[in-house]
């Protein structure tokens, strides 16, 4: 099993599968409700011109989140 | 898990009453377009009492011509509310709002191009146990994206009618209306496995909600499930609170789970998405490899590290220049016609107080209200375009990093930028900011951005400040730039301060969907624009009219002898006396009582400073308006002096006055709109106090320091 990294550390264009996620906090509950769950495949589409926030693609649509939140989401890089 | 037989089919609650449909859906799913297509112009826009969330209701007709009430609920991603908008949607659906009847049936709009995430809200809505019609919108775009959606299969999986639809060109509306006309609608075959860990809690809460909160069993079950996904969700005014017993049960369970480490909220979301995943794999056949979509290609430019700024700059320049220049013609037209109308009334009516009240109070007041309309219409036309194309989200995405420095998020950018033209549309545009505190901070600082009404004041003061007849362009531009910079820094500084003190909150989230780019629909944009204008006229107009009449009264009474000049009349009116009363306060800033009169009367609107200064310093036949020739006024100002003969308008005083106008809340229309947008007098009063207080302190510092340095 490959090692998990933070979602914010993913390279632009790379895909990964979500492995772990904080249990509490409004931001993380909302991210789950938006479909970012353990097991979900996520692609880092790009970062904003100033480096933050990030744009990711999940379940066929694009979502932004700040690096501060993405740093708490652990993902396992996947081809 | 089958539903009990007695609720398997639900007839209309009663044939004698107009059935109520609620329209729900994710943001960007085409909900308003569909609502407009159903109800046409038969819409009513108001507010939910106590919250600044728009309440839209309309009427449509069944195939037999029976009226059907349709409530357009605010867009929501989930019923576990994270914004006042979502809280209202949740509360109406759960029957928690006394001001809105609980809908009999629900239309749930799904964006066919983004089915999985849209199904999440539907999954919650089906729990409510009401008849639901699913509208599968944007089918055309789904086909373009090579998504193969099996509608019959989805209908079978859910057990409720599914109507494929393209609201943009009206396709599917007839079928939808037919479905809405059905007397009986099936209830969903909505069996999903509530995770075993939390099932006992659901049962407990459901029992308590039925017994203590008088909820119907199915609503109680839905609410129980919702309470368990809700970690301190948003509450809004007008929502019926839960009974203490239910709260107690909820807290007991939450404590137990916190102790043993059960991820209760997450578990529920996971099992919903598991159920959704099963439906989605049945219904959506995998598309073949599709290359980058059109949206991906546009975004490669629009959010490009370099080109992105150019696009943003170009769009904002276009927006800004349009508000500034396009609005000028209708504004001058309105100004001229209001003045002409007042003159006409002056001629046909016998002289007297009633005539003056009508012309100088009422007509001038109404003119002062409608003169803002062109700017509001243009700004909301652009905002409608930016929103419906999807660019608005990109602008917020690009600007978020900068805005986060002062504790706001990218969504505050457009309202603040619009405020350079006029704070009123800027403040009205803050409705796109979900977080109530961020929204309030944005409203509080927006009027610090130098608006177009400050321009005449700046121009007059620059003319009086610089010696010689012609002001060098460089000096003029330099001073103007300084004033704009001061206002901007002020706005960001106060935003930073408010976010750290008064309106302290968690750093705002930037969890935002970047919807695919779509062609805007002119009809929807126009409707949105007219709605805004209507709101401004109705709500702000009345307050502005009232204040205008009061200000007229203060300047017209008590009456001077009949042969008095306008200057003498003003000098001995209440406003003139107030100027004298004000003098001790403003003397440290280098202002005398006559400037005090102008400050008081320009409380109506900043540009009034120019015309009222003309009256105070007795410039005969001064024609007001934006293009007025200020030369005679400038001469009068240069000659104005204190009783001891010192000149009044020294360069330092002119400069201090400009500083004062950068910060002071000299605009009753802004106060009126802030009152409307915050639903209380507390915030506009606070705003007036902090802005004018800052203006006074900074003017004092500038004037006293300037004098100390020998200016």
Identify the CATH number of the domain defined by range B5-192.
3.40.50.300
For A30, the closest of B82, B114, B401 (CB atoms) is B82
Identify the pLDDT of residue B3: 45
Identify the pLDDT of residue B164: 94
Kindly list the structural domains of chain A, giving each domain's residue range(s) and its CATH number in brackets, ordered by start: 5-78 (2.30.30.90)
Chain A residues closer than 8 Å to B273 by CB: 35, 37
Would you call A25 an interface residue with chain B, using a CB distance cutoff of 8 Å?
yes
Would you call A38 an interface residue with chain B, using a CB distance cutoff of 8 Å?
yes
DSSP state of B27: T
The conformational region for residue B520 under phi > 0 = left, psi -120 to 50 = alpha, else beta, is beta
> Scanning every residue of chain A, which has its alpha carbon at the shortest distance from the alpha carbon of B265?
A29
SS3 B465: helix
Of the candidates A6, A13, A11, the one whose C-alpha atom is nearest the C-alpha of residue A69 is A6
Interface contact flag, B303 A49, Cβ < 8 Å? yes
As for the ipTM of the complex, it is: 0.94
SS3 B45: strand
Chain B residues closer than 8 Å to A33 by CB: 77-78, 80, 120, 229, 269
Report the mean per-residue pLDDT for chain A: 89
Nearest chain B CA: its distance from A67 CA (Å)? 10
CA gap B90, B78 in Å, rounded: 8
Question: Which H or E run includes B580?
Answer: helix B574-586
Identify the pLDDT of residue B233: 64
| Distances B454 to B329, B334, B448, B666 between C-alpha atoms, Å | 18, 19, 11, 10
Report the mean per-residue pLDDT for chain B: 85
| Both structure tokens of B486 | 């001061």
- Which residues, listed in sequence order, are joined to residue B106 by a DSSP beta bridge? B22, B132
Would you call A64 an interface residue with chain B, using a CB distance cutoff of 8 Å?
yes
| Both structure tokens of B708 | 């100390």
Identify the pLDDT of residue B629: 60
B54-61 and B105-111 strand pairing: unpaired
SS3 B55: strand
Interface contact flag, B229 A29, Cβ < 8 Å? yes
For A59, the closest of B116, B231, B404 (CB atoms) is B116
Identify the pLDDT of residue B630: 63
pTM of the shown model:
0.83
CA gap B604, B667 in Å, rounded: 6
Chain B residues closer than 8 Å to A32 by CB: 265-266, 269-270
Would you call B418 an interface residue with chain A, using a CB distance cutoff of 8 Å?
no
Would you call A12 an interface residue with chain B, using a CB distance cutoff of 8 Å?
no
SS3 B133: strand
CA gap B576, B573 in Å, rounded: 5
Average pLDDT over residues A16-26: 86
| Both structure tokens of B170 | 């009206």
Cβ proximity of B163 and B136 under 8 Å: yes
Nearest chain B CA: its distance from A76 CA (Å)? 19
B187 phi and psi, to 5 degrees?
Answer: -90, 155
Which B positions 222-261 lie with beta carbon below 8 A of chain A? Answer: 229, 231-232
> Scanning every residue of chain A, which has its alpha carbon at the shortest distance from the alpha carbon of B312?
A49
Identify whether A53 is preceded by a cis peptide bond (ω within 30 of 0).
yes
Identify the pLDDT of residue B475: 81
Radius of gyration of the CA atoms of chain A, in A:
11
CA gap B268, A57 in Å, rounded: 23
Chain B residues closer than 8 Å to A35 by CB: 116-117, 120, 273
Low-confidence ranges of chain B (pLDDT < 70): 1-16, 191, 230-233, 287-290, 324, 468-469, 507, 618-631
- Domain range list for chain B: 5-192, 541-708
Chain A to chain B, count of Cβ pairs less than 8 Å apart? 112
| Both structure tokens of B588 | 């440290």
Would you call B309 an interface residue with chain A, using a CB distance cutoff of 8 Å?
yes
Would you call B308 an interface residue with chain A, using a CB distance cutoff of 8 Å?
yes
- Which residues, listed in sequence order, are joined to residue B148 by a DSSP beta bridge? B285
Distance of CA B478 to the CA centre of its chain: 33
């Amino acid at each position: 099993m490959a090692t998990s990294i933070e979602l914010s550390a993913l390279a632009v264009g790379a895909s990964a599968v979500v492995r772990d996620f904080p249990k509490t906090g409004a931001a993380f509950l909302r991210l789950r409700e938006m479909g970012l769950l353990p097991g979900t495949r996520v692609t880092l589409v790009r970062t904003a011109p100033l480096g933050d926030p990030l744009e990711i693609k999940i379940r066929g649509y694009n979502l932004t989140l700040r690096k501060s939140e993405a740093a708490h989401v652990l993902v396992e890089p996947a081809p | 898990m089958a539903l009990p037989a007695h609720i398997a089919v639900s007839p209309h609650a009663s044939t004698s009453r107009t059935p109520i449909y609620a329209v729900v859906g994710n943001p960007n799913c085409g909900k308003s377009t569909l609502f407009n297509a159903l109800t046409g112009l038969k819409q009513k826009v108001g507010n939910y009492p106590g919250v600044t969330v728009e309440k839209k209701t309309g009427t449509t007709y069944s195939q037999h011509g029976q009226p059907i009430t349709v409530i357009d609920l605010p867009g929501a991603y989930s019923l576990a509310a994270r914004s006042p908008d979502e809280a209202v949607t949740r509360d109406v659906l759960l029957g928690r709002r006394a001001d809105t009847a609980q809908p009999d049936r629900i239309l749930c709009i799904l964006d066919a191009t983004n089915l999985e995430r849209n199904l999440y809200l539907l999954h919650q809505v089906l729990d409510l146990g009401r008849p639901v019609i699913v509208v599968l919108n944007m089918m055309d775009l789904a086909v373009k994206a090579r998504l193969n959606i099996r509608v019959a299969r989805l209908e079978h999986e859910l057990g409720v009618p599914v109507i494929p639809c393209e609201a943009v060109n009206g396709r599917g509306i007839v079928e939808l209306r037919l479905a809405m006309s059905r007397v009986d609608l099936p209830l969903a075959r909505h069996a999903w496995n509530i995770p075993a860990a939390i099932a006992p809690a659901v049962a407990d809460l459901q029992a308590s909600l039925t017994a203590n909160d008088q909820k119907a069993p199915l609503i109680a079950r839905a609410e129980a499930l919702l309470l368990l996904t809700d970690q301190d969700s948003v509450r809004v005014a007008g929502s019926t609170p839960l009974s203490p017993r239910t709260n107690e049960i909820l807290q007991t369970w939450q404590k137990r789970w916190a102790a043993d480490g059960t991820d209760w909220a997450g578990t529920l979301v996971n099992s919903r998405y598991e159920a959704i995943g099963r439906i989605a794999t049945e219904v959506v056949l995998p598309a073949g490899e599709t290359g980058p979509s059109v949206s991906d290609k546009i975004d490669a430019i629009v959010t490009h590290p370099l080109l992105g700024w150019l696009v943003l700059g170009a769009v904002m320049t276009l927006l800004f220049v349009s508000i500034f220049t396009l609005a000028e013609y209708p504004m001058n037209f309105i100004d001229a016609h209001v003045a002409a109308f007042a003159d006409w009334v002056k001629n046909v009516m016998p002289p007297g107080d009633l005539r003056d009240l009508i012309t100088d109070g009422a007509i001038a007041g109404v003119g002062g209200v409608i003169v803002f309309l062109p700017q509001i219409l243009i700004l909301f036309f652009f905002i409608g375009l930016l929103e419906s194309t999807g660019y608005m989200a990109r602008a917020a995405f690009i600007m978020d990093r900068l805005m986060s420095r002062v504790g706001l998020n990218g969504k505050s950018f457009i309202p603040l930028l619009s405020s350079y033209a006029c704070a009123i549309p800027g403040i009205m545009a803050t409705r796109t900011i979900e977080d109530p505190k961020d929204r309030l901070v944005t409203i509080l600082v927006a009027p610090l951005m130098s608006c177009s009404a400050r321009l005449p004041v700046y121009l007059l003061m620059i003319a009086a400040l610089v010696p010689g007849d012609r002001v060098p362009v460089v000096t003029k531009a330099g001073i103007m730039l300084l004033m704009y910079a001061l206002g901007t820094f002020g706005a960001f500084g106060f935003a930073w301060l408010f976010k750290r003190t008064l309106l302290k909150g968690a750093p705002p989230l930037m969890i935002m969907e970047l919807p695919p780019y779509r062609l805007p629909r002119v009809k929807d944009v126009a409707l949105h624009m007219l709605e805004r204008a209507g709101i401004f006229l109705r709500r702000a107009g009345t307050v502005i009219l009232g204040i205008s009449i009061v200000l007229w009264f203060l300047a017209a009474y008590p009456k001077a002898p009949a042969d008095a000049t306008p200057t003498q009349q003003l000098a001995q009116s209440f406003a003139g006396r107030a100027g004298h009363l004000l003098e001790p306060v403003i003397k440290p800033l280098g202002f005398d009582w006559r400037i005090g009169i102008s400050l008081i009367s320009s409380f109506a609107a900043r540009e009034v400073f120019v015309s009222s200064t003309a009256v105070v310093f007795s410039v005969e036949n001064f024609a007001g308006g934006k293009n007025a020739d200020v030369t005679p006024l400038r001469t009068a100002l240069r000659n104005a002096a204190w009783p001891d003969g010192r000149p009044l308008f020294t360069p330092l005083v002119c400069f201090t006055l400009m500083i004062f106008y950068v910060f002071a809340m000299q605009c009753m229309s802004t106060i009126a709109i802030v009152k409307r947008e915050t639903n209380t007098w507390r915030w506009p009063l606070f705003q007036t106090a902090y802005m004018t207080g800052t203006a006074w302190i900074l003017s004092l510092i500038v004037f006293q320091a300037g004098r100390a340095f020998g200016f």
